[in-house]
Amino acid sequence: TNSNVLLSSELFLPPNKPRLEELKTLLEGFHVRVVLVYRRFDEWLKSIYYETQRHRLPQPSIGIDKWLRGVHIPTKAFQTMSDGIRDYRAVFPDFHVVRLEEAKNQSGGLLGEFFCHHVLMATMACHVITENSSLYETMSSNLRVSDYQLVAEGAVAKGILNGPMSHARQYVPMIQDWWESDQREQQETLPRVCVDKEVLTVINNLTIEFAILHSESRKQIKRQMEDNPTIFCMVGVEKVLNSSIWMSKLNSLSPP
């Protein structure tokens, strides 16, 4: 009989060793393979920034430069994950780490990497994903939150756009179409706020140290960072909302 079971949840981290031993007992009789998707620290930091700023609404967002200073660099959470990985390896020897940045460049993106190389006996799933690789590569590379959505949410929070916060997403296509079609601009040309060199140096050093914890060499991670640098310049929502051209457009929009 087919006895394959796939369990996926962020709640598996952070673990503690006694609970992992309990899980191992519950799964006795199964060949257990643990696959963890690991995001490089600097990329993870950028994602966390977007998430925390969304949770601040309707309060004004904190610029990326201020957020990253001092206690706002959440090293403790990442260290906890690193400790958890060591515990997993001790309890479940068949342990795999998938590096998100590398997986996205494979055929089928992250899903292709996962099902074709790490899930046992997933031949059919691998075939479907690789046959439709362009679709899954696009899905896996989409940003969770776009700059346009941050602008829309900021405008709703300030009362510039009407409606509840849950409707902010509906303004995004209108804002994007106006900026990219009518104004002939790109998302990257929105007003930006960047971190200074001092903070960027701290981030780069931490990225290297955390990578070493995952058995990557200092030379290897430096090369990855040079080939695929994380640009810590985020949309300056306050700058956008203080712009006369943007205010004129936002005030003209009707609720979807």
DSSP labels for 35-82? EEEE--HHHHHHHHHHHHHHHHTTSPPPPHHHHTSGGGS-HHHHHHHH
Q: What is the pLDDT of residue 140?
A: 44
Q: Does the bond joining 58 to the residue before it have cis omega, within 30 degrees of 0?
A: yes
- Overall average pLDDT of the 167-190 stretch: 90
Q: What is the pLDDT of residue 141?
A: 43
Which residues are within 8 A (CB) of 25 and not within 5 positions of it... i.e. 6 or more apart? none
Interior/surface letters 77-100, b for 16+ CB within 10 angstroms, e for the rest: ebeebbebbebbeebeeebebbbb
Which residues are within 8 A (CB) of 61 and not within 5 positions of it... i.e. 6 or more apart? 53, 150, 154, 237, 238
Q: What is the pLDDT of residues 213-246, one digit of tens each?
A: 666 677 777 887 788 777 777 788 888 999 999 9
| Cα–Cα distance, 244 to 12 (Å, whole number) | 47
Instruction: Please report, for the chain, how many H helices and E strands are present, in that order.
Output: 14, 4
Reference 103, options 35, 37, 34, 12; nearest CA is: 37
| Cα–Cα distance, 237 to 64 (Å, whole number) | 11
> Contact at 8 Å (CB) between 61 and 238?
yes
| Cα–Cα distance, 82 to 214 (Å, whole number) | 8
Interior/surface letters 18-43, b for 16+ CB within 10 angstroms, e for the rest: eebeebeeeeeeeebebbbbbbbbbe
Q: How confident is the model at residue 115 (pLDDT cuts 50, 70, 90)?
A: confident
Q: What is the pLDDT of residue 131?
A: 80
Q: What is the pLDDT of residues 43-93, one digit of tens each?
A: 788 777 777 766 665 565 666 777 776 545 666 666 776 777 788 888 999
For residue 70, what are its two tokens?
């001092």
**What is the CB neighbour count within 10 angstroms for residue 132?**
13
Q: What is the pLDDT of residue 252?
A: 93
Reference 160, options 51, 59, 57, 248; nearest CA is: 248
For residue 147, what are its two tokens?
């700059």
- In the chain, the amino acid numbered 63 is G
